[in-house]
Structure 1
Amino acid sequence: MAAHVLADAVWPTVPSGALVLVPVGSTEQHGPHLPLDTDTVVARAVVQRTADALPASWVAPPIAYGASGEHAHFPGTVSIGHEALSALVVELTRSLSLWAGRIVFVNGHGGNTATLDTALRQLRAEGHDIAWTACGTPGGDAHAGRTETSLMLHLDPARVRLGAAVAGDTRPLPDLLPHLVAHGVRAVSPSGVLGDPAGASAAEGSRTMEAMVSATVRRIGAWTVDDRGRLADPARLPGAVRR
């Protein structure tokens, strides 16, 4: 069954108490080979496919700007910062809650994490039935490398400029974070790539997307929310049976 898309609807067809899924992305550099809206494209795809698996849910228009200050030194990046993003999430939730039931933000950009934690903690204290989850890929590289390149080759291959792809800094993200936070991505990787796109494929992107959607569906179904508003994956909880 096709997902219910809020932007395509007329108001009499939108039910009260619906589950609403909100993609959260960014507009920021993704190396010389991936488009600026990569995070938004990925988050929207996860939401649309999750909604296909949860037929009573609705897909909201994506939040296409995020907190991307670490990419500010690359032309094309547009960041609204933590304060503005937090205000947007808070007011959007208060508005949706006038008719929606549960609300889930599905985040495609790591730089939005702290903002979502803060905003959703506040919103849950206000009594909203809300949570957020990330488009996570365990074992994937950090930014514009093989993982995201594979996802985009699967989702929108015509927009991937493979001939321009280059390897960036391939150290694990925890090793890069102190310098990255202090000086920005460009100080760590002049190309903007954190990882190596070599070997990326649409087939790998398809498998990664399937795993992200499956995890999102599981988390929403279990509805185990921590004190930051994050949905836990029941497959990763202590004592869970792993299949």
Structure 2
Amino acid sequence: MNSAYDRHVAFPSGLGNSTSRQLRSMSPMLIIPVGSTEQHGPHLPLDTDTRIATAVAHAVRERLDAPVPGEWMVAPPVCYGASGEHEGFPGTVSIGTEALRLLLVEYGRSACGWAPRLAFVNGHGGNLQALAAAVTRLRDEGRDVGWVPCFASGADAHAGHTETSVLLHISPEDVDAAAWSPGNTAPLAELMPAMRSGGVAAVSELGVLGDPTTATAADGERIFAEMVDGCAGRMRRWQPDRNGLLI
């Protein structure tokens, strides 16, 4: 084999473009982005959560691979989640908490047949219950699995300053600045009673909780770096709590 081929065999970065032959000799640990397909106001794409989780996962892999190239690999994302609060807006496709839980459990059981460790990187808050239940079950079965959130301090709730800024940083061509408009900026705790019965549509006709008009790419770069730093730190420490959340 020539040296270029050897390097390609040894260190592919993504599961989707790898071969079974490569994986047989590598036994990489696996990072799985988990997102959603749901409305994000009139200005952001439906796969916003999936894009963010996937971008964070790839950046984390580069960070973790610095000492040992090829140790981690990023899987194709889980693109559908528990998004029932966004029903009523065109484009939302929710599989619900129970279906997502089952999907993640079976995913983990299968992938752990060849990957020694799995880390789910979550980009959608509605997935938390399913992730905690699935990862707890997998760990109870003796599998080395954990999960991390794409967390940013001071973030607004949905399609506002935070997510719009991150998209301006990682995917600016898909942000429709001409269509953005402030949504409901009340604290999420105040909105929850109405949202529990009527979803996001009950508190925001636009489907926006926050103000995207203040978003900037520079702020998105800062927020994205905070997400990557947080996820990478948790994965390096690998200290799962009782629900498999890496702390």
Deviates more, 1:220-229 or 1:33-42: 220-229
Counterpart amino acid of residue 42 in structure 1 = I
**What are the equivalent positions in structure 2 for 1:185-196 lying under 5 Å apart?**
185-196=200-211
Asked if the contact 1:3/1:52 (under 8 Å) is kept, the reply is no
Q: Deviations over 1:148-197 (max 9, x none)?
A: 00000111111100110011111121221222122100001010000001
Deviation at 1:119, TM superposition (A): 1.1
In the other structure, the counterpart of 1:181 is: 196
2:53 to 43, 53, 58: 43
Larger Rg: 2
Asked if the contact 1:97/1:128 (under 8 Å) is kept, the reply is yes
Q: Does 1:153 align with 2:162?
A: no
Deviation at 1:17, TM superposition (A): 3.8
Q: Does 1:24 align with 2:34?
A: yes
Deviation at 1:218, TM superposition (A): 0.5
* 1-structure distance, mates of 2:189, 2:121: 23
Unpaired runs of 5+ in structure 2? 1-6, 66-70
* Percent identity over paired residues: 49
Task: Please report the TM-score for the alignment, with normalisation by the length of structure 2.
Answer: 0.91
Unpaired runs of 5+ in structure 1? 233-243
In the other structure, the counterpart of 2:182 is: 167
Q: Does 1:226 align with 2:241?
A: yes
RMSD: 1.4
* 1-structure distance, mates of 2:157, 2:29: 31
In the other structure, the counterpart of 1:52 is: 62
Asked if the contact 1:27/1:36 (under 8 Å) is kept, the reply is yes
In the other structure, the counterpart of 1:12 is: 21
Task: Please report the TM-score for the alignment, with normalisation by the length of structure 1.
Answer: 0.93
Counterpart amino acid of residue 92 in structure 1 = Y
**What are the equivalent positions in structure 2 for 1:77-92 lying under 5 Å apart?**
77-92=92-107
Flag as ranges the 4+ runs of structure 1 deviating above 3 A: none
Q: SS of the residue aligned with 1:20?
A: strand
